[in-house]
Amino acid sequence: MKTFTLRPGDSLNELLCQIPADNREEIQIRLSCGIYREKTVIDRPYLHLIGEDAQNTVISYGDYANALMPDKSKRGTFRSYTVLLDAHHVTMENLTIENTAAPRRQVGQAIALYADGDWLHFKNCRFLGSQDTLFTGPLPPAPNQIGGFTGPKEFDVRKNGRQFYENCYICGDIDFIFGSATAYFRSCHIEAKNSLSPEELQDSGNRPPVCAYLTAASTPEGQRFGYVFDQCRITAKDCPPGSVYLGRPWRSWAKTVFLNCSMDESIHPAGFHDWNKPESHDTVFYGEYNCTGAGAATDRRASFVRALTAAEAASFTLETVFASLD
């Protein structure tokens, strides 16, 4: 196994260019503590990127959807990434990937990690952003509006892959975990940020404000599993009680379940939102099992949210979920 070491000031992109595109051997890339300010494309398979320390080994950039391109068009969501991971059999460990673009109201969507591939493993990583922090590709079959998918994977064949997030921290506000992948989150800390200004919070009056949506799955029709959160901690900062939804359907076959998770009081009593798509009530799969905390499942959950039985929850093991794609 080959091993490379990078230090701040070195270019990860330049190193990756030295690796054959059809690489078949495991390659380890060690990143020393520091900030790597680089818009990065990882398109080589069988890589293991290991940071020296998750808090202090940071890949950082600040592109955003509302930025103007040279032709005066907007950059758009899918060109805003800090890291594009477009490969199979890649592991990332002890790293932070952040998109520093702010404030959200002005910059719009700003992806930290765009992950599209099979057998992707993220261990002890941190993903920091606001709107659309983590995109778990592939893209849905077609955009809802012309130009909505402008970016590096717009015309590629859609291939669903397995993504495993283990002991990771993921932070954002609007739809900050979104996409079509079969993705399993185990022992992760998912933290929502308040997307509203003090004036908006005050103007909400008697209406409960909506500060954040954790997920926006676009699970394809016929795909057995979408997002599974197991033994995760769900919290929010600067969000009033009942102001955060666990998810809403970016596409109408969205699948998202929470198993054995703790949820603080920020979670809205309804749990999930239908994104004003009443027809999705018959097609989405939103479920919870054995969750605890002030925000856990209540008798006020939306009618389309399922309280899973022990037998149903047992079908959502990591092994079963990933084997569904064999």
pLDDT for 141 = 96
Compute the average pLDDT of residues 151-174.
Answer: 97
For residue 213, what pLDDT band results from cuts at 50, 70 and 90? Answer: very high
Reply yes or no on whether the pLDDT at 208 is more than 80: no
Asked whether residue 31 is assigned to any structural domain, the reply reads no
**Predicted confidence (pLDDT) per residue in 59-106, tens digit:** 999 999 999 999 999 999 999 999 999 999 999 999 999 999 999 989
pLDDT for 112 = 98
Q: Quote the longest CA-to-CA distance of the chain.
A: 61
pLDDT for 205 = 60
Cα separation, 122 vs 94, whole angstroms: 9
Asked whether residue 138 is assigned to any structural domain, the reply reads yes
**Predicted confidence (pLDDT) per residue in 257-313, tens digit:** 999 999 999 999 999 999 999 999 999 999 999 999 999 988 999 999 999 999 999
How many domains would you assign to the chain? 1
Asked whether residue 50 is assigned to any structural domain, the reply reads no
Asked whether residue 35 is assigned to any structural domain, the reply reads no
Give the structural domain span for 132.
66-323
Alpha helices by DSSP H, the chain: 12-17, 104-107, 198-203, 310-313, 318-323
CATH label of the domain that carries residue 147: 2.160.20.10
Reply yes or no on whether the pLDDT at 18 is more than 80: yes
pLDDT for 77 = 98
**Predicted confidence (pLDDT) per residue in 26-45, tens digit:** 999 999 999 999 999 999 99
Asked whether residue 159 is assigned to any structural domain, the reply reads yes
**Torsion angle (degrees, nearest 10) of CA 61, 62, 64, 70:** -90
Reply yes or no on whether the pLDDT at 198 is more than 90: no
Q: Are 215 and 175 in contact (CB under 8 A)?
A: yes
Which pTM does this prediction carry?
A: 0.97
Asked whether residue 109 is assigned to any structural domain, the reply reads yes
